[in-house]
Amino acid sequence: MTRGRVPLVWVVASHRLLRNPSGHTQLYTVMDEAGHRTVLNMGLQPVCYPRVLPQQLEALLAGVDGILLGGSDTNVHPRHFGEAPARPGFQFDEERDALAQSLIRLGIASRIPVLGFCRGSHDFNVAMGGSLHQWLRDDPRFLKHWEDEDETLDETYVERHFVTCTPGGELERIAQMGRFPVSSLHSQGVKVLGRDLVAEAQADDGLVEAFRWHDASQFAWGFQFHPEWGWRWHPAYGRIMDAFVRACWENLGRRGRFANPPYAETTAS
């Protein structure tokens, strides 16, 4: 495929200290596996530009058609919303913070489709001036949103609770249902929603599980759950990912690189 025919999706990198086979800890730059594989399987091309200098950001962004911010074991540093870490032992990724927040704001201003899930939704909310609950596990008001340590990978992404869409909202329209079960493996979540963001779904405990940029004509969404997992069989997940794919093809067309985008929805309507 040529560059003129396939949308490029910038998958934001994470930076992690990982132990190698020799037992030494090294810093690695990693790319969200489930997110970039899903993008690839749906006909788009993931790309990754880690540690971009501020003066290069706009030029690199001009060459992509979508932005995807996936999950990570790290947290957005709470200094970005005016708080100190609530407990010792939190893992932060301030290199991702610096890139992701600038990238999101510039992507919104440039009308480039943005999709964030789990930590990526936290990046999005904080970039817009919002804040986060730093540790849901200590607050009895909330359902169990997190995984157990002894779970397998498939068990980790199992549906743990339901979300209810805002009646008549954009997510209800996209998902074609008002309530559905979702995966949930997070200990943080939206506390105060950022400027110009609109809540589109909540868990039964009131925690915001999906939100969007206020201009519904622009695809820019944050999901606390993981639509990239199970998108082939979960109807709501599939429709969410289809909407992102469609937005990326439409963005490609608007930029004059392909007049008639050859996408097709991958789930039944």
172-218 tens-digit pLDDT: 999 999 999 998 877 889 999 999 999 999 999 999 999 999 999 99
Q: Amino acid identity, residue 174? A: I
The alpha helices in 130-218, defined as continuous H runs, are 153-156, 170-175
Answer yes or no: is 52 within a domain: yes
3 state SS of 74: coil
Query: Does 259 fall in a domain?
Result: no
Residue 209, in any domain of the structure: yes
Which pLDDT tens digit goes with each residue over 86-135? Answer: 988 889 999 999 999 999 999 999 999 999 999 999 999 999 999 999 98
Q: Is residue 238 part of a domain?
A: yes
How many domains is the chain partitioned into structurally?
A: 1
In the block, residue with structure tokens 């999709």: 115
Residue 110 domain-assigned (yes or no): yes
45 found inside a domain: yes
Q: Which residues are CB-neighbours of 59 under 8 A, at least 6 positions away?
A: none
List the domain range (segments joined by +) for residue 142: 8-254
**Residue 268 pLDDT more than 50?**
no
- State the Cα–Cα distance between residues 185 and 147, nearest whole angstrom: 5
The predicted structure's pLDDT at residue 216:
96
Residue 267 in any domain: the answer is no
Is residue 263 included in any domain, yes or no?
no
Identify the CATH number of the domain in which residue 94 sits.
3.40.50.880
